[in-house]
Structure 1
Amino acid sequence: MSDAEIEEEPVKKKSKLPLILGVVLALAGGGGGFYAVSSGMILGPPSDGAKAEKPKSEEELAAAMVLPDVAFVPLDPMVISLQGGGGARHLRFTAQLEVPIAAKPDVELLLPRVVDVFNSYLRAVEVADLEQPTALLRFRSHLLRRAQLVLGDERVNNLLVMEFVVN
């Protein structure tokens, strides 16, 4: 047989039906997903257009705006020299104590004890401890517990760290 005798078979074109069907199904799925999310069927409450909430009276708004019964007692900024790390490193720390308003005078009276406890704890900290990603959270919880031990659990709600800089 020679090459001339071999007939070339015509190339069949692929059907475009799967492509068109895929596009139609993708659009239908996207539209259905959008409707489900915007109507609140999935992922939370309905949007503003789907369900309107009744307006509140001024008394209800005032009751919602009531602030918690707390006061904040600022601590003086502390600069602590850190151990380890080879060079002279310092930690600059500033915080505030969240306390009930009724306990604020008592906390201000005992504030030197709190500062002393914080200084004692922070001086024992090493530079390697500060390099961990969760260091600030861990130190905050340790310091809050120490403040609660000095002042009493009912007098301290929280410790807010305002500045925590290592240089």
Structure 2
Amino acid sequence: MLGIALLAVGALASSFATVFFLTPATVPDAPVCEVTESATPAAAAIKENQSYVELRDILITIGSAPATRYLKMKVAIISDSGDLPAVHDAEPVLIDAFTNYLRSVELSDFENPGFYSHMRDQLDRRSQLVLGNGVSDGVLITEFLLR
């Protein structure tokens, strides 16, 4: 009889614990992420006299082993409309700077999702070095194919 009583108390305690611990907590009425009026935009606004200079395709092999993979990429330089001739004239040097950087990248780097923003920053830095500060306002990767 004592065994049945202990079994009943154990079953009652486990039932109570299951209901108590598995019941969802009350959800607060306030939103988790409050929207503020001073939020900054994610991307900079497009300037009125801003232009985009699309460079020719970049096609390189990836990795240091016998190349079985290649990268085909198209890049555009963001610049003021008055600086377009400087960007067009520097296109071979820009392609060379981008190619030298991309050849140093390993295939495993492309598997990291955070690498793409780093790659865009590196390409932007090289465009600023080639064109001089103030000419390049950024780099856009308009096509990207890794095979």
TM-score of Structure 1 vs Structure 2, range by shorter chain: 0.5 to 0.7
Q: State percent identity of aligned pairs.
A: 28
User: 1:157 is paired with a residue of what secondary structure?
Assistant: strand
1:49-89, Cα deviation, whole Å (9 max, x unpaired): xxxxxxxxxxxxxxxxx962111100111111011477600
* Structure-1-length-normalised TM-score: 0.59
Mind listing any 5+ residue stretches in structure 2 that lack a counterpart?
A: 1-25, 38-45
1:80 to 60, 63, 75: 60
Q: Which has the higher contact order (CA 8 A, sep 6+)?
A: 2
CA distance in structure 2 between the aligned counterparts of 1:87 and 1:120, rounded to whole angstroms: 16
Code of the aligned partner of 1:159: V
What is the correspondence of 1:58-137 to structure 2 with a 5 Å cutoff?
Answer: 68-84=48-64, 88-137=68-117
Residues 153 and 67 (structure 1), Cα distance of their counterparts in 2 relative to 1, 3 Å cut: closer
CA distance in structure 2 between the aligned counterparts of 1:83 and 1:156, rounded to whole angstroms: 29
CA distance in structure 2 between the aligned counterparts of 1:44 and 1:117, rounded to whole angstroms: 42
CA distance in structure 2 between the aligned counterparts of 1:159 and 1:67, rounded to whole angstroms: 15
Task: Tell me which residue corresponds to 2:133.
Answer: 153
User: Residue 43 of structure 1: CA displacement?
Assistant: 3.8
Code of the aligned partner of 1:160: L
CA distance in structure 2 between the aligned counterparts of 1:121 and 1:70, rounded to whole angstroms: 26
Q: Are the equivalent residues in 1 in contact too, given 2:61–2:67 (CA < 8 A)? A: no
Q: Are the equivalent residues in 1 in contact too, given 2:56–2:74 (CA < 8 A)? A: yes
Mind listing any 5+ residue stretches in structure 1 that lack a counterpart?
A: 1-25, 46-65
Residues 164 and 85 (structure 1), Cα distance of their counterparts in 2 relative to 1, 3 Å cut: farther
What is the correspondence of 1:16-55 to structure 2 with a 5 Å cutoff?
Answer: 43=35
What value does the CA root-mean-square deviation take over the aligned residues? 2.4
Q: Are the equivalent residues in 2 in contact too, given 1:85–1:127 (CA < 8 A)? A: no
Task: Tell me which residue corresponds to 2:11.
Answer: none
User: 2:48 is paired with a residue of what secondary structure?
Assistant: coil
Task: Tell me which residue corresponds to 2:119.
Answer: 139
Code of the aligned partner of 1:149: L
| Runs of 4+ residues over 6 Å off in structure 1 | none
CA distance in structure 1 between the aligned counterparts of 2:143 and 2:86, rounded to whole angstroms: 24
